[in-house]
């Protein structure tokens, strides 16, 4: 959050009339957050997404004009297809989500030379986030053919390109394919909202020694199995996009998990939270933050604190 406030002061000092963002997801969301502060003020808790007195998530309408955002990405992040950002309050560990559709990018410029500037682990972590969001998006109960088309094609591209990135890290076309797939995953997931693995990674990632994208991917098999009783049709789509044929009964779940596991194995994603530095004593506090994350507001199967703690325990 301090970085965002510092960036806002720079924009104000320069009397900026637009923002050109060069970099990855952190740069993009920092620019959005700073643009919100410039327009709305620095009391971020006043206009972040939060629960009302009835326990429902609300996102205050931000009416002030915003600086235009022009995106020149270096990583395959879903952030450049979004209109919001989230900032971490260093004092409390709370995640403050902010949203304003006026902050959608005016344009995104994909350049193969810039795509090669990001270190492979950074690119891989960002791609795994896009992969996880596509997998979770297809488990949504929203029945919309355009959303399904975006997410299915994103998942096909990511399932092919992530292993290729590991084999050919300096191939610029692979990196561009990852970027294009991330645009599709970001757009498709906009319609269906976030997923449980995303909420789990938001709360767990800052306590780990790796990127949020890797942590999110680590949670995917656990979340798929948790969602399975209510999302069989969606898991058949995941399996199909990843080249695994689903069938009757629970085989769709098994096929979806197998498809996801193949990509995780190719990307050498750790399988346990303890392997990425997460302390077992922190799981209860992580669960508390998960339940305050707005991304759980549209997940296909609701969760209780016990559910979240069970999932965290299984992943740990």
For residue 87, give the H/E element and its range. strand 84-88
What structural domains does the chain harbor?
2-108 (3.40.50.1970), 120-315 (1.20.1090.10)
Cβ–Cβ < 8 Å for 18, 70: yes
Cβ–Cβ < 8 Å for 222, 157: no
pTM of the entire predicted model: 0.93
Least confident of 8-12, 46-50, 79-83, 99-103: 46-50
Cβ–Cβ < 8 Å for 197, 214: no
pLDDT class of 249 with cuts at 50, 70, 90: very low
Predicted confidence (pLDDT) at residue 248 exceeds the cutoff of 60:
no
| Length of the chain counted residue by residue | 316
For residue 172, give the H/E element and its range. helix 172-192
What angle (nearest 5°) sits at the alpha carbon of residue 3, between those of residues 199 and 82?
A: 45
pLDDT in tens, 190-224: 999 889 999 999 999 999 999 999 999 999 999 99
How much is the pLDDT for 245?
A: 64
Beta bridge pairs of residue 57:
51
pLDDT in tens, 157-178: 999 999 999 999 999 999 999 9
pLDDT class of 50 with cuts at 50, 70, 90: confident
- pLDDT, mean over the chain: 92
Predicted confidence (pLDDT) at residue 247 exceeds the cutoff of 90:
no
Q: Tokens at residue 15, please? A: 């009397």
Task: Kindly report the backbone phi and psi dihedral angles of residue 51, in degrees, each rounded to the nearest multiple of 5, phi listed first.
Answer: -85, 140
The mean pLDDT value for 50-73 works out to 89
Q: Tokens at residue 100, please? A: 């304003």
Predicted confidence (pLDDT) at residue 105 exceeds the cutoff of 90:
yes
Half-sphere exposure of 109 (CA within 13 A, CB side): 11
How much is the pLDDT for 94?
A: 82
């Amino acid at each position: 959050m301090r970085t965002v406030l510092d960036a806002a002061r720079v924009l104000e000092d320069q009397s900026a009339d637009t923002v050109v963002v060069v970099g990855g997801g952190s740069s993009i969301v920092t620019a959005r957050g700073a643009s919100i502060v410039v327009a709305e003020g620095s009391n971020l808790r006043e206009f972040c997404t939060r629960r009302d007195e009835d326990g429902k998530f609300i996102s205050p309408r931000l009416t002030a004009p915003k600086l235009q955002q022009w995106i020149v990405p270096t990583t395959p992040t879903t952030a450049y297809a979004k209109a919001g950002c989230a900032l971490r309050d260093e004092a409390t560990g709370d995640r403050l989500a902010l949203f304003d559709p006026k902050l959608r990018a005016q344009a995104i410029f994909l350049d193969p030379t810039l795509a090669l500037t990001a270190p492979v682990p950074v690119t891989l972590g960002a791609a795994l986030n896009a992969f996880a969001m596509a997998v979770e998006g297809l488990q949504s109960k929203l029945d919309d053919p355009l959303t399904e088309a975006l997410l299915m094609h994103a998942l096909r591209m990511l399932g092919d390109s992530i292993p290729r990135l590991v084999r050919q890290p300096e191939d610029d076309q692979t990196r561009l394919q990852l970027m294009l797939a991330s645009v599709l995953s970001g757009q498709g997931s906009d319609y269906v909202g976030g997923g449980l693995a995303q909420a789990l990674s938001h709360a767990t990632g800052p306590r780990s020694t790796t990127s949020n994208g890797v942590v999110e991917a680590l949670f995917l098999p656990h979340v798929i199995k948790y969602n399975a009783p209510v999302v069989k049709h969606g898991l058949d789509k995941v399996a199909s996009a990843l080249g695994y044929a689903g069938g009757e009964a629970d085989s769709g779940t098994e096929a979806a998990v197998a498809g996801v596991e193949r990509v995780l194995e190719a990307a050498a994603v750790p399988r346990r939270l303890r392997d990425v530095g997460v302390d077992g004593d922190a799981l209860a506090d992580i669960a508390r933050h998960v339940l305050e994350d707005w991304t759980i507001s549209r997940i296909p199967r609701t969760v209780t604190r016990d559910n979240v703690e069970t999932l965290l325990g299984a992943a740990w």
